[in-house]
């Protein structure tokens, strides 16, 4: 009887360890990042485009404060700009280079990198 009980306790310990590891391994780490790439009509990277991400429709239901997220960066030689945020969000995107403008949107997920390519 002791051998059976010992085996059962060992089984419970292994099962408990597995469940705990599964729960804690689900949490992701790292930044909530948007990577925006801008290309021209020939699929070449566009350097120097002004890329703006913003959220203009979110209102906090508790205090009524409207979101003021608005970040602008310039695309690098690869036509890319990276933006890091603390939380997930739906954001508008606008890229401007000379007289050309392109708009889109992106949905960020917490602790994940989401990429979007815009084409002039």
> Is residue 105 a part of any domain in this protein?
yes
Burial class (CB in 10 A: 0-12, 13-18, 19+), 95: buried
> Is residue 41 a part of any domain in this protein?
yes
Distance CA(54)–CA(80), nearest Å, equals 17
Count of residues making up the chain? 120
How many domains, in total, are found in the chain?
Answer: 1
The confidence score (pLDDT) of residue 20 equals 47
> Is residue 109 a part of any domain in this protein?
yes
Rounded-to-10 torsion of CA 75, 77, 80, 83 = -60
Range of the domain at 91: 32-119
pLDDT tens digits for range 5-43: 665 665 554 555 555 455 555 555 778 999 999 999 999
> Is residue 17 a part of any domain in this protein?
no
| Residue 103, domain CATH | 2.60.40.1120
Q: What pTM does this model have?
A: 0.71
């Amino acid at each position: 009887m002791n051998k059976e009980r010992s085996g059962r306790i060992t089984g419970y310990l292994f099962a408990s360890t597995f469940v705990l590891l599964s729960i804690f391994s689900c949490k992701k780490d790292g930044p909530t990042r948007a990577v925006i790439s801008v290309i021209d009509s020939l699929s070449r990277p566009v350097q120097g485009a002004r890329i703006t991400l913003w959220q203009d429709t979110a209102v906090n239901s508790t205090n009524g404060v409207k979101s003021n997220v608005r970040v602008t960066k310039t695309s690098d030689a690869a036509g890319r700009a990276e933006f890091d945020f603390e939380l997930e969000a739906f954001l508008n995107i606008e890229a401007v280079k000379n007289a050309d403008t392109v708009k889109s949107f992106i949905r960020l997920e917490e602790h994940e990198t989401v990429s979007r390519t815009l084409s002039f």
